A and B are shown apart, each in its own frame.
Chain A
């Protein structure tokens, strides 16, 4: 536009005003576009604040009515209007711990395989396949979990655990009770598979930031692959790996559909991880649409608010750690 305006001013004396008009239009357009993008960016901030504030307002009646008791009580009885979050918080944390215990080592193992061991031809296909695992929607994990994984747990895994680990005094309490198929362990295992690709993707990316001279130097003095990974790669990328693990934890804490299908949805706390339980998100998914307005709805919103705060803290820590690694890699 300006390019065509410049020759025009040379041929005609009356055009400088046209030119300034054109420039004025462009200036306006410039300012308008800038303002538009700024507004959109601000909206992202407002969105997060909006989520926090709306949930808090919705949750306030429950917090006010039950006070601290809301966090301690594990009774959840809509007819009696007695609501406590303890069972849901407990289930959320225990399923996430199980998921992390299995998903993190396996995810790291795959990342090591992809960066250090994999034949170059297979690197891309296997990497993509693992990423596809992350792309499968959680409802699919849910339906698969309930039709295939739950019967497997019920028929084989849980009787085996009850028969072996369940007989050991102390630890046995974790594996007590009948093999129902549904339960905290089943949900934790499905979660483990779901977070695995996140751990792998981020660890692989941070492993690749390790300068190859460092690895070559270690190989040069005769270190084995295992020693290079343990002594060079992991220490160098520690912050990033922890960040990736936290990110996966954030996913596990908030995962809803897959868990709802296989956890059994029982609002109670029991020591056995084979027993049925619930999580914050499963409880909301199950009950919110039918909840009576008033304390019931408010209590579910309060659960949502708690989940939001927990995941916010976990994800913020994760991002902070990952950004520290980026600063390091940028140097």
Chain B
């Protein structure tokens, strides 16, 4: 018995060391990637980036049209996905909570949540580009909406699931109809949670590239017209990162830094909101 102990202890030490190593490995990548972004992208940050258009090689340019395109398409996506996602999430949590139909929708929504975004791009191409005959920022927005809706559905349902039933019962006992119980009581109780879902959706949309390649296509000129092909930050990173010209590569890195900082600060902000709420409960 006694002579087993050193062996067990040694094996334990080895596995614990491996777990530490795995964590160091994971954190190491984060440091390497963020470090590279700061190193390569920070130097390019200037007023020009935010005030000038993307330019052909040799001409000093910025990222203005891409930034505006990103914002417009994200807003378009949000206008579609936020109401749709919140309503669908409401059905799953309130009206249909224990029904078979809701179980199916929940299952399908979870699959859409991690479905390959490139496939979503193909779908929107067939659905929004082919019928109109040309690429457009609107199609890009629709593609982003398809990607972000499942996120909002999921967070809305999860958050409404946390509302204590006694709250709903109290409201119903006062004679409030069901729809008002949901809108005036349940939504109000989980407002922070709904905002979290929307922030996470925006974060996801900001970084998406694959579904935009053949929906919004990209545009080297400034446009705020959603029926025209539209540029966006991820698309311009995709284009410029493969460019042979150093100034375009530099802009790609600056764009990458902007996108990453936006996405990460949105997701950290979302986390802060939701955790400060759960702490107060």
Contacts and interface: CB of A to CB of B under 8 A. Distances in A.
> A and B from one assembly?
yes
A32 B95 CA distance: 13
A254 B16 contact: no
B108 A143 contact: no
A226 B12 contact: yes
Interface string B74-115: 000000000111011011101110000110110111111011
Interface residues of B, number: 93
Interface in A139-162: 139-144, 146-148
Interface string A239-282: 00000000100110111110001000000000000000000010
Contacts of A301: 122, 126
A200 interface: yes
B112 A40 contact: no
Interface in A66-119: 105-110, 112-114, 116-118
A140 B259 contact: yes
Given A26-B177, A304-B118, A139 B22 contact: no
A226 B11 contact: yes
A144 B21 CA distance: 23
A326 to B, nearest CB: 11
Contacts of B127: 50, 54
B120 interface: yes
Given A109-B22, A144-B37, A227-B12, A137 B183 contact: no
Interface in A294-331: 300-301, 304, 307-308, 311-312, 315-316, 319, 323
A290 B52 CA distance: 28
A126 B27 contact: yes
Contacts of B259: 137, 139-140
B92 A110 contact: no
A15 interface: no
A148 B252 CA distance: 14
B26 interface: yes
A128 interface: yes
B33 A110 contact: no
Interface in B228-281: 234, 237-238, 241-242, 252-253, 256, 259-260, 263-264, 267-268, 271
A29 interface: yes
A42 B104 CA distance: 10
A144 B36 contact: yes
B159 to A, nearest CB: 15
A48 B111 contact: yes
Interface string A51-70: 10011011000000000000
Given A227-B8, A308-B119, A140 B88 contact: no
B3 interface: no
Nearest to B21: A109
Contacts of B105: 41-42, 44-45
Contact of A30 (B21, B101, B179): B179
Given A137-B260, A308-B119, A55 B126 contact: yes
Contacts of B15: 225-226, 229
A41 B91 contact: yes
A48 B116 contact: no
A213 interface: no
A131 B237 CA distance: 23
Given A26-B177, A110-B23, A288-B213, A281 B8 contact: no
B123 interface: yes
B91 A251 contact: no
A34 B177 contact: no
A251 B114 contact: yes
Contacts of A226: 11-12, 15-16
Contact of A109 (B18, B109, B217): B18
A106 B25 contact: yes
Interface in B1-35: 8-9, 11-12, 15-16, 18-23, 25-27, 29-30, 32-33
A104 to B, nearest CB: 11
A132 interface: yes
A140 B33 contact: yes
Contacts of B176: 2
Interface string A281-292: 100110011000
Contacts of B11: 224, 226
Count chain B CB atoms within 10 A of each CB in A43, A133, A144 and give the residue with the most: A144
Count chain B CB atoms within 10 A of each CB in A36, A55, A118, A256 and give the residue with the most: A256
A305 to B, nearest CB: 8
A147 B177 contact: no
A55 B119 contact: yes
A138 interface: yes
Given A2-B175, A117-B20, A285-B118, A132 B264 contact: yes
B180 interface: yes
23 contacts: A1-B180, A37-B90, A38-B95, A38-B96, A51-B115, A51-B119, A55-B123, A110-B26, A117-B19, A118-B23, A129-B30, A135-B203, A137-B206, A137-B260, A146-B242, A196-B29, A250-B114, A256-B210, A257-B238, A261-B241, A304-B119, A304-B122, A308-B115
- Closest 3 CB pairs between A and B? A254-B116, A137-B207, A109-B22
Given A33-B179, A109-B21, A143-B256, 14 more contacts: A2-B174, A3-B174, A41-B105, A51-B115, A51-B119, A54-B122, A116-B19, A136-B207, A137-B206, A143-B252, A256-B210, A281-B118, A285-B118, A319-B111
